[in-house]
Structure 1
Amino acid sequence: MLATMLAAAHVALPLWAESLAMVYPEVDYLRVPFLVILGACAVAGEIVLLTLWTLAPALSSSTSSTPRRLTAVVLVVVLLLGVAAAFTGLNIYLSSSINANPPLVGLGLLAGALVCGAVAVTLSYAQWHHRQGR
């Protein structure tokens, strides 16, 4: 199922970018770099989902945390913060540098950055709370 979602994202993103390039021809040259960034964000999102899926039983248990679990949570937090930074950077660049940010794209990038940041903070707090509780 995760592979299907990733494949769908990599099919939908180029089609979406092509339609935006038709509406905003002045940003057509940015299509490939932004697709690479958004594709990397989609892959990072899939890694985060897969890691959380495998860690879910261990995170919900009251057993002590292992170094492997801590490393996995740190990897997830770093990936989420990286995706949030990429979304924020794309939004700022589209809004301020070239003034070609459609409202739906801007809101989507903002919502994505906020969700990634919130999940990263929540996971960090949960890991900290779990470590303090032992």
Structure 2
Amino acid sequence: MGDAIEGIGLARLLASASFRRSREVAAQLAGDAAGLRQLLADVERKVFAVGSLTSSPRGVHVDIAGAMVEAHLEELTEPGLTAERRAVLTSDPRPRVVIAALHYLVTERDVVPDWLPTGHLDDLLVLQWASDVARGDLPLV
């Protein structure tokens, strides 16, 4: 993915203060429909030194993650949603990982600052990991 990322590695990204903060925010946002809508809007507007990720082939992970959050949001706002079902939805770790990855994406100052030419690479790595976790291809860390 690039020299800036090779020395960091996924494990260090996931253990970083930036991603830990994103996981904390995700725990709060998992049950907040308005907050999730705002996050998705922030993702749509996100621009890096290389431009928008959604316009690149690697941007597919942004689209997958966004679709997963939209599906979670749809379930969360279902008419007649019981408190029990809401508790299950908001505590499910897979959507929370994806929400955390999208929050990490829109965070300006993360492990590799987004204003650098390679500032999107850490974001893509985290998004790819989160998409794989959400699909069940990888275990939760």
Decide which structure has the larger Cα Rg and report it.
1
The structure richer in helix per residue is 1
TM-score by length of 2: 0.34
The structure with higher relative contact order (CA 8 Å, sep 6+) is: 2
TM-score by length of 1: 0.35
